[in-house]
Structure 1
Amino acid sequence: MTERGRAPEAHAEAEVDADARALASTLRMRILRLCLDDALTNREIAQRLDRNPATVLHHVRTLVDRGFLAAEPARRGTRGAREVPYRATGKSWRTPGGPGMSRVLIDTFLEEVALVDPQDVLTTRLGLRLDADGLEELTSRVHEVLQDFATRPATPDGVPYSAFWALHQDVSRQTPPRSAAIGSIDAALSEG
């Protein structure tokens, strides 16, 4: 039993649920992205997102409490006030998504890409027909590439980019339409 009287499995499940709830917000996902390369104060985050600082502070505190953001040493702001900068820890990359997480990631991507000139967005769309082994190979190889780039040190003078990769069953191409095998993608992605 843990100190709170819960079995270790229940405690671990509660922690995963709390992490999933913390990430279930497009605003929080965008805050994490902003704090990936540079430590930013609550005021700086609010300015970049054009949001109320009090609202942003609530989200920042949630991300700090769950270990997705880490506070760095306080500094003096432009008016002499004490400001705490925050930096993303990278934990969100290692955290399994809960139900609905795909929707949050898609919505976050759509919010961010809406800020960019469409000519500056590289996109690819590909239709495939794969068996279980092919699906596993594809997800594994893509995961390896993304993991490789995620763990590389940032290039200090490099241009910041965001990558979004999605894989879904093409229900319009299924015969008969809408197969019952929807769990196969979830299984392949959870193994990656």
Structure 2
Amino acid sequence: MTDGTPTGKGALNPAASAREIKALAHPLRLRILRLCGLHELTNKQLADRLGQDPGTMLYHVRQLLATEFLEPGEVRTGESGALEKPYRSTGRSWRLDTALDDAGSNGPLAPIDALREELAESGPHALASLSRFVLHLSKADADDLISRIYDVLREYTDTEASRTGEPAYGGMFVLHRSPD
């Protein structure tokens, strides 16, 4: 549902607040979240992996810390003997289908840009499935489709902890109204 109403077994991911939407409105931050969801990484490791200046990376990490999408891990000793401060995703999920007006013009496209960058980095062999479609739907049909897809996704996200040893797959569901 796009109105945030809980359905099925448990509530849908909460709609992001205006502050959270702003934090999520940058593809680099979304890539940081994905990487820190797989491994605890330091600012330097993130900067190296994503080809960014460490200062730029720290700015984006702080935005994610402030909105509790990231949290600091335990300080550790790195390979060179220096202390390192890693970060990890808190595992919070969100929906950007409500209050998108608060995200600015690039907000709704940030997840798509991040996914495009991840696909380019992964290469064509990493793509497990791609479907492009056009459907004629009433508002009620569109709401039903979204709800049913969220229900299927929830079945997997609710049991994710039992599969952490398996390969990680990323994905995105986008339903948009055609300009035609």
TM-score range, shorter chain: 0.7 to 0.9
Q: Percent identity?
A: 36
1:102 aligned to 2:104? Answer: no
User: How many angstroms does 1:117 deviate by?
Assistant: 2.4
Work out which of the two has the higher radius of gyration on C-alpha atoms and give 1 or 2. 1
- For residues 35-46 of structure 1, the aligned pairs below 5 Å read 35-46=36-47
- For residues 1-192 of structure 1, the aligned pairs below 5 Å read 16-93=17-94, 98-99=100-101, 100=105, 101-121=107-127, 122-154=129-161, 155-172=163-180
Is the contact between residue 119 and residue 126 of structure 2 (CA under 8 Å) also seen in structure 1?
no
Secondary structure, aligned partner of 2:94: helix
Higher alpha-carbon deviation: 97-106 or 156-165:
97-106
Larger relative contact order (C-alpha < 8 A, sep ≥ 6)?
Answer: 2
TM-score scaled to structure 1, two decimals?
A: 0.74
Give CA-to-partner distance per residue, 1:37-81, whole Å, 9 cap, x none: 221111111121121122111111121111010111100111111
State the number of aligned residues. 158
User: How many angstroms does 1:169 deviate by?
Assistant: 1.6
From the superposition, tell whether residues 97 and 43 of structure 1 become closer, same or farther in structure 2 (CA, over 3 Å). farther
Looking at structure 2, the residues matched to 115 and 32 of structure 1 have their Cα atoms a distance apart, in angstroms, of: 16
Amino acid at match of 2:131: T
**Alignment RMSD (CA, Å):** 2.0
Unpaired segments ≥5 residues, structure 1? 1-14, 173-192
Secondary structure, aligned partner of 1:70: strand
Secondary structure, aligned partner of 1:19: helix
User: How many angstroms does 1:119 deviate by?
Assistant: 4.1
